[in-house]
Every structure is written in structure tokens, then in C-alpha cells.
Copies of this chain bind each other. A is one copy, B any other.
Amino acid sequence: MKDYAQIRQEVEKTLQELSLWKGEPQALYLPAVYALGQGGKRIRPVLALMACQLFGKECSQALMPAVGLEVFHNFTLLHDDVMDKAAVRHGLPTVHVKWNANTAILSGDAMFAAASSLVAKAPQECLSAVLDAFHRLALGVCEGQQYDMNFETQTTVSMAEYMEMIRLKTAVLIAGSLEIGALCAGASASDVKCLYNYGNQIGLAFQLQDDWLDLYADEAKFGKRIGGDIRENKKTYLYIRAIENLDAEDRRKLEQWFSTATTKENETEKIAAVKALFEKANAHNACQEAVNQLFAQAETDLKSLASHVDAPALQELQSFTANLLGREF
């Protein structure tokens, strides 16, 4: 069994050594190398490999599909950053800022093609199932991004709509990574489903935690400025819960702030005022409570595996996801 550090190292090494990135024209491949070189926790391939080794198989069985999932994730970031006009990621200029929008579009497309070709290196006996999972998650992520963009111009977004959006935009890729890792190991359909459900809860929790961290994170550690979602009038869990919980007058105030563009002059006041309204509505605690519930549900989902998977490998997976969510394990 490999631990997180070992798995992560194998993912990094494989990503770096892909001969693809050395191809011509370099104008196409350099932005991919740049985006993939920015690190991060490599959550998706790590989850795929951790799922694979649960079933007593070598990680190498799922290595190429796992790396493909990381390339896919980074492709979505290139395109999302164009669509969302995001200028900074991991503290560095995004591809469309460092180069231009056309580069981000086309290098992203090449990354999607490369990701598909890596996923297609799954073991022959599970290839169709892996591809099916990959195409489902790829379409899901597009659907999620579309809902997210729709929400920008939609006056009201219900909590159910929001949860469905983050399920598609974030959770299906987390769940799909576990699914693909398990499929590569030849896991049974019920075990695959169990890991998918686990990943779905973890993915939802991860996004809600991210919504909460927008206001309560340690700024240095979080890597982005506090209040970014408020600055962009983003309808997150905190906003939607607050709208639900506040009385008519406060709701009107909150809606007022969210229909006002953020400027250098108003931003300090705006973030403080919105934060106060969120807290008045108890949205911040509701958010933490939701994360806790999802995390507990995820742990329960995993129980049926405990009887027949590799125990240290299961512990490694649980401790990794707990760590992701800042929870104790």
C-alpha cells in the first residue's frame, strides 16, 4: 500500500514525464505545462489511486486514467477562467491573462484530448466502463458550469438548484475519480457505487467548505483574498441560506448589496455588511453543519466496504478526505 506522499509523488512524476508536452507547436503545449506545473493537492488522481489500492491492486493499474483526470480538471480550469474572467489562480496569472483567450481555449481543448487519451489507457477489461464514467463526468462538469453561469443572471436560486449545480460542477469529478480508480481495480458494481456515493458527499462537502472559507479562511493559507465571492456577487451556500433565513427587511438589504457592483470605495463596507447579514441569518453555522452532515453521511456510505477492502488503504483514504475538509479522522 502506498501512502498519500508516495501516491502524490507518482502522480507528479507521471504528469511531468508525459512526452506529449514536449510536442510541437510549443505554443499549444506550453500553457498546459504551465497550468499543470502549479501543483495543488492533485485531489482527483490521488482519490483514483487510493480507490484502486483499496482492492489490493497496484496503483499502477489506474495511474494513466488518474493522471488523465488531473489533466481534465486543469482543462476545465483554463476554460472556466476565460468564462469567469478570472485573472489569478494559485497566486499566478491565469493562462488567458499570461497568454490570451484563444490560447486558453485551444490549449484547453488539447488538454481535453490528452486527458481522454490517458483515460483510454485503462486496463482492457474495464475500458468501456471507465470511458462511460469519464464521459458522464465530463458532460456533468459542463452542465454544472452552465448552471453556474445561468445563476449569475437568475434573480433567485433555490438551495436545491444550488446543490444540484455544485454536484455537477464539483462532486461528479470527485466521485468519478473514485469510481474510475475502483473500476480499474476490477471492483464489484456495488463497491464502485458505494465509492461513487462517498465521493459525491465528499465533493459536495468540499464545495460548501470552500464557500465558508471565502469568509473564514486564514488568508495566507487559503491562497486567495477573503470575501472574493461577495466581491463578485456570487450566489454561494452562505448567500442562499441567508436569503432563506433573513426577514424581509434584511433580505432586501442583502439583495441590494448583491445587485451593486463592487468598487474600491465600497468593498470594505460591503464585505463587512454582507458578512454581518450572513451571520445574522446563521448561514455560516448552517454551512458548517451541512459540511458535518455530508462528511458523516460519507463515512457511513463507506462502512459497507470495511469488511472486505484493504484496511490500511481504507484508513489512508479516510484520513486524506478528512484532511481535505479540515475534519478530524
Q: Interface of A with B (CB < 8 Å)? A: 20, 23-25, 27-28, 79, 82-83, 101-102, 105-106, 109-110, 112-114, 116-117, 120, 124, 127-128, 131-132, 135, 138-139, 142-143, 145-147, 149-150
Across the interface, A146 reaches (CB within 8 A) one of B27, B114, B117, B150, namely: B27
CA gap between A132 and B150 in the complex, in Å:
36
- Known A-B contacts A106-B83, A120-B131, A124-B128; A28 and B113 likewise in contact (beta carbons under 8 Å): no
| Among B105, B106, B139, contact of A113 (Cβ-Cβ < 8 Å) | B139
Contact of A117 among B112, B117, B131, B142 (CB under 8 A): B131
Q: How far is the CA of A126 from the CA of B117 in the complex (A)?
A: 15
Contacts of A102 in B (CB 8 A): 82-83, 149
Contact in complex: B106, A145 (CB < 8 Å)? yes
From B24, B27, B105, B120, contact of A105 by CB (8 A): B105
Q: Which residue among A23, A113, A149 has the maximum number of chain B CB atoms within 10 Å of its CB?
A: A113
Contact A120 B135 (CB under 8 A): yes
Q: A79-B105, A79-B106, A149-B102 are in contact. Are A120 and B128 (CB under 8 A)?
A: yes
Question: How far apart are A160's CB and chain B's nearest CB, in angstroms?
Answer: 14
Give Cα distance in the complex from A325 to B108, angstroms. 33
- Beyond A23-B143, A79-B106, A110-B139: 10 further Cβ-contacts under 8 Å? A27-B146, A27-B149, A28-B142, A82-B105, A109-B112, A113-B138, A114-B135, A116-B138, A117-B139, A120-B131
Whether A28 lies near B132 (C-beta < 8 A) is no
Q: Which residue of B lies closest to A25 (CB)?
A: B146
The 5 A-B residue pairs with the shortest CB-CB distance in the complex, in nearest-first order = A117-B135, A113-B138, A110-B142, A28-B146, A120-B131
- Please, how many angstroms separate the alpha-carbon atoms of A74 and B82 in the complex? 21
Complex CA–CA separation, A28 to B83 (angstroms)? 14
Q: Bound state CA distance, A28 and B149, in angstroms?
A: 10
Would A142 and B113 count as touching, CB distance under 8 A? yes
Q: Would B135 and A113 count as touching, CB distance under 8 A?
A: yes
Q: Is the CB of B120 within 8 A of A139?
A: no
Q: Which residues of the partner chain B approach A110 to less than 8 Å between Cβ atoms? A: 139, 142-143
* Contact present for A142 and B83 (CB under 8 Å): no
Closest residue of B by beta carbon distance from A118: B135
